[in-house]
Chain A
């Protein structure tokens, strides 16, 4: 185990004094060549990587108003400096949102702005050298893209956009991150991040059906690939597998059952999370989003409902219509996609669910949206 000093949670946050470099060692495993190649990236660090990186940077900025505005607008006021949980937990100044952005901005200024080209020292512009590349790999992977910093920035600068662009550049020079890239490959070929194939999924769902019957005495189905069901449920594959996620899926099944809704899961689109977003790859994000559209068309459903997952919902709610729409073949009376909480809330409002409030009244609840703080 790593030697950690867990900060004590107090009523008011204590802002740590900065400790430069304490997290420089922290970096994810590099993706193997075959993982990189599979999703369209160079297999290893390309020879002329500096050139490729700068070219890619220019390309990305020219295609993103967010990047263009964010890179120009920061006044270094410091409002975001104590808003990132990575900074609060580590005290490494490069985990302050502005400093993380500056790893990107300093390079951008050096190669793309008048001030950075001619007065680099004055404005803090820096070369894209190996040391910078290493810093990028380390610190741009210490951002969970929760967007909390953007809530506080007076200009709405969103570090997530810059982290995504940086990761896309890293991928484009051949330095990918194993976790995300391997998962994207799996989701694109098998249908979900965990790589669960159809037979394994079927088996898991049958097991859950047995568990529910054992616990409640009620037969609740968890259908897979059922044609002409009304609802396609897309949920993170962790729900098929891990505790306590699986309790969520069992709950969804119970809700659908109690409300008498016809629903199905899909083996083709058995994953809500879209890791294309984490690596800032529009292409990969689109491929993954299209699987959901294809499954909806193939199964002939009328609605698409998402199970709970912070970043999955972020992509689904904001991007799915753009990436895989228009969804004019679905029932226009429901938003596409709909969140399972929206579905449940609606059912409660319409008195279609009978709730036994005493069933869970021994539990103390807290609001914790760790992946995507308060749905930034």
Chain B
């Protein structure tokens, strides 16, 4: 096994462990921290199913953001939707044989990377162009966008500039999953791409990326508006 392969084997195990353990820790903390009072935000649903519907539209369509600002919504939604497609497309590296529906979305996933980068670029532009957003941006906010864009560009690089041996890449990842390690091609785009992905996985549970699990625990969105009918008591 080459040194490069060995390094990436270790990196991916470390990154996966950090991501999974870190997220599990945070989610457990969110779930276990009591919400002492009812604070659903109007217009709040008055049934559990209503909350499910509210959350469904918040998660899939970014409802509140749409109400707030059309530009952020446009860039943010495009980025997230494209990212989802790109991530699903990558499932082909982890499944053998490739699941049918993953195969079916491949042609769309190919272009999703462009949309993703467009969305990210739009969000980044706002950090420079809108004085209010410039004011609230810290270095980490810029770096997070830079990181995601770099991941997208290096991915596109492998698709359109300098191909990498994706059969070997797939063998590497399947090997990781079955503890039967296979060599990783040493192409520049691939090495940068994977390094940045590892970095993203590691910083996920320590950064604002926690908005992903956080949304599902936000009391203003997830609580039912029935404080008068049902007494809300938490063991405090």
Chain A positions within 8 Å of B, measured between CB atoms, are 15, 17-18, 20, 61-66, 68-70, 72-83, 93, 96, 98-99, 102, 113-115, 119, 121-124, 147, 150-158, 161, 282, 317-319, 321-322, 325-326, 335-337, 374-376
Contact yes or no, B41 A376, CB < 8 A: yes
* Contacts A69-B218, A81-B132, A155-B214; A121 near B139 (Cβ below 8 A): yes
> How far is A337 from B228 in the complex, measured between Cα atoms in Å?
7
Contact yes or no, B64 A336, CB < 8 A: no
Can you list 26 contacts pairing A with B, beta carbon distance less than 8 Å? A17-B131, A18-B132, A62-B33, A64-B33, A69-B218, A69-B219, A73-B214, A75-B211, A76-B137, A76-B208, A77-B65, A78-B69, A83-B68, A93-B136, A119-B140, A151-B64, A154-B76, A154-B211, A154-B215, A155-B211, A155-B215, A156-B215, A156-B219, A318-B39, A322-B227, A322-B232
CB of B141 within 8 Å of the partner chain = yes
Q: How far is the CB of A154 from chain B (nearest CB, A)?
A: 4
Contact yes or no, A82 B132, CB < 8 A: yes
- Interface residue tally on B, bucketed by range: 35 or more
> How far is A293 from B136 in the complex, measured between Cα atoms in Å?
45
Contact yes or no, B62 A154, CB < 8 A: yes
The list of the 5 closest CB pairs from A to B, nearest first, reads A73-B214, A124-B138, A152-B68, A156-B220, A79-B68
> How far is A63 from B37 in the complex, measured between Cα atoms in Å?
11
The 8 A CB mask of B142-172 against A (1 = contact, 0 = none) is: 0100000000000000000000000000000
| B contact residues around A336 at 8 Å (CB) | 228
Contact partner, B208, options A75, A82, A114, A154, Cβ 8 Å? A75
Contact yes or no, B136 A78, CB < 8 A: yes
Contact yes or no, B214 A99, CB < 8 A: no
* Contacts A78-B126, A81-B132, A154-B62; A70 near B33 (Cβ below 8 A): no
> How far is A306 from B7 in the complex, measured between Cα atoms in Å?
67
Contact yes or no, A154 B214, CB < 8 A: no
CB of B110 within 8 Å of the partner chain = no
| A contact residues around B143 at 8 Å (CB) | 122
Tell me the nearest residue of chain B to A154, going by C-beta. Answer: B65
CB of B233 within 8 Å of the partner chain = yes
| B contact residues around A102 at 8 Å (CB) | 136
Contact yes or no, A319 B42, CB < 8 A: no
| A contact residues around B72 at 8 Å (CB) | 77-79
Q: How far is the CB of B71 from chain A (nearest CB, A)?
A: 9
17 more contacts with CB within 8 A, not counting A122-B139, A153-B64, are A63-B236, A68-B29, A69-B30, A69-B217, A75-B208, A76-B141, A78-B133, A78-B136, A82-B69, A123-B140, A152-B68, A154-B62, A154-B215, A157-B218, A322-B37, A335-B228, A376-B41
Q: Is chain B's interface secondary structure helix, strand, loop, or mixed overall?
A: helix
Q: How far is the CB of A204 from chain B (nearest CB, A)?
A: 30
| A contact residues around B210 at 8 Å (CB) | 72-73
Contact yes or no, B130 A78, CB < 8 A: yes
| A contact residues around B211 at 8 Å (CB) | 72-75, 154-155
* Contacts A72-B26, A113-B206, A152-B68; A322 near B130 (Cβ below 8 A): no
* Contacts A63-B236, A158-B220; A79 near B65 (Cβ below 8 A): yes
- For B141, B206, B214, which residue has the most chain A Cβ atoms within 10 angstroms? B214
Report B55-73 residues with CB < 8 Å from chain A CB. Answer: 58, 62, 64-65, 67-69, 72
Q: How far is the CB of B109 from chain A (nearest CB, A)?
A: 24
Contact yes or no, B231 A63, CB < 8 A: no
Q: How far is the CB of A4 from chain B (nearest CB, A)?
A: 22
> How far is A281 from B33 in the complex, measured between Cα atoms in Å?
18
| B contact residues around A337 at 8 Å (CB) | 228
Q: How far is the CB of A158 from chain B (nearest CB, A)?
A: 5
CB of B174 within 8 Å of the partner chain = no
Contact yes or no, B135 A322, CB < 8 A: no
> How far is A266 from B68 in the complex, measured between Cα atoms in Å?
43
The 8 A CB mask of B17-57 against A (1 = contact, 0 = none) is: 00000000010011001111111111000000000000000
Contact yes or no, B138 A123, CB < 8 A: yes
> How far is A274 from B37 in the complex, measured between Cα atoms in Å?
15
Contact yes or no, A322 B229, CB < 8 A: no
CB of B186 within 8 Å of the partner chain = no
CB of B193 within 8 Å of the partner chain = no
> How far is A152 from B69 in the complex, measured between Cα atoms in Å?
9
| A contact residues around B67 at 8 Å (CB) | 151-152
> How far is A158 from B220 in the complex, measured between Cα atoms in Å?
7
> How far is A98 from B69 in the complex, measured between Cα atoms in Å?
15
| A contact residues around B95 at 8 Å (CB) | none
Q: How far is the CB of B36 from chain A (nearest CB, A)?
A: 7
Contact yes or no, A65 B33, CB < 8 A: yes
> How far is A154 from B130 in the complex, measured between Cα atoms in Å?
19
Tell me the nearest residue of chain B to A73, going by C-beta. Answer: B214
> How far is A161 from B36 in the complex, measured between Cα atoms in Å?
12
Contact yes or no, B208 A74, CB < 8 A: yes
Contact partner, A322, options B41, B126, B221, B233, Cβ 8 Å? B233
Contact partner, A76, options B69, B136, B214, Cβ 8 Å? B136
Contact yes or no, B228 A158, CB < 8 A: no
- For B34, B40, B131, B132, which residue has the most chain A Cβ atoms within 10 angstroms? B132
